[in-house]
Structure 1
């Protein structure tokens, strides 16, 4: 190699070589130029030839085109009908005012499968029957759901009525005991009119904080608040029959109204039966509050 020729490893040769990859834009202008070149190359590609129509498609096109045209006046059939008085736009046969007649030939319906005549209508009917069966089942499920909701609502209302009855009976018992004590009554007219309390014995006091002691009901002792012997206190709750609760409430309420002129729902102690009859709306909760909890 002569001295006049540049070394291929010299700095001058290396500076002239650009480190640029093909297809990668180095600037916005370069990117724009690449896009233009790509579109140009795509436009030069030959267009794909259209796929020729199949024999069935060509036959269908010819059939539709022929059926779309009216009957030609040059056909032999039209000539024979014209001799019998037929004119374009007329219908065949006798015409009636209330009857709809066709003026064009009936269109063809090509059957391309091997099913029998009327099979499509049968398939549609079966599909409609399945849809109707599903709808009927959904209606039955919806009705059953509504029935369950109504049953649940009725049970909730019944529980609320029973709770209100128990609450009213407890209030009547408390007032009855207080009013009876004012007139120096030592025992209630009916045993359950007053609340009774279980007597806790000394040996039970020692063990009640450590474990539950089982005692027979016959050995348990109950007393009223004034120390008089009493029967076991009734345990009324939501499991008690409603008829029993309504009967007990009616009995103790009648006792309070007749003997003490007291109305549990008014919360007032009247002076006389006349005063109660004048100012008290009635002897039921409904008469006072206008609700349907119970009579």
Structure 2
């Protein structure tokens, strides 16, 4: 027959310590003299602090109460400003003004209890608006990138813009060559020739273009410039930049050239 296990005393302090731990100092579970003394001292301290707070108010609390009392108290008759109003016919409880059209109560005072600057709220509001605008723009870019149709359209627009600038530069070079053969020293319009021809070197022209913009450059967009310049080349020299050919006359140009635009030559 096996030995009977030793019975556990469920009311002993050793068993309770194993259940709740040595650091638990709840009432009824204080086993050591030191833990009891510590709990008593903390309780007395809390009671003393509570009594001190009830008896003595903080400086901030006193200032708030005095301020509230001053704002809620009506102006006394001893006040010089109030005396002057009474001499001018003012009666307590009535509105200001000859026809009593003024305010009945004084303007309310809003006291700033913090130490922040007056404009910090507006700074926070402006910053939040900027963040919202950035999020909106970011969302739009994401929609364009995720939308296949919009993405293809954006690529198509970039490709057309690239071809447009290439055609314009080519037209300017051809216009300069053809005008030079006629011994012309100036173009019909300042932008008919490349800018580096008129301003010395190509590098100088690029620097000047960044610093200054002529009225014509602001007035005409690249697409408009191309249309005008190609029309000038076709009517003056019977030349088509997309065909790369100088035709004999206007009749020959109309018969053999597909049209006055790049799209006509892509078909």
TM-score range (shorter-chain normalised) is: 0.3 to 0.5
Which protein has greater RCO, CA pairs closer than 8 Å, 6+ apart?
1
TM-score, structure 1 as length reference: 0.35
Bigger-Rg structure (1/2) = 1
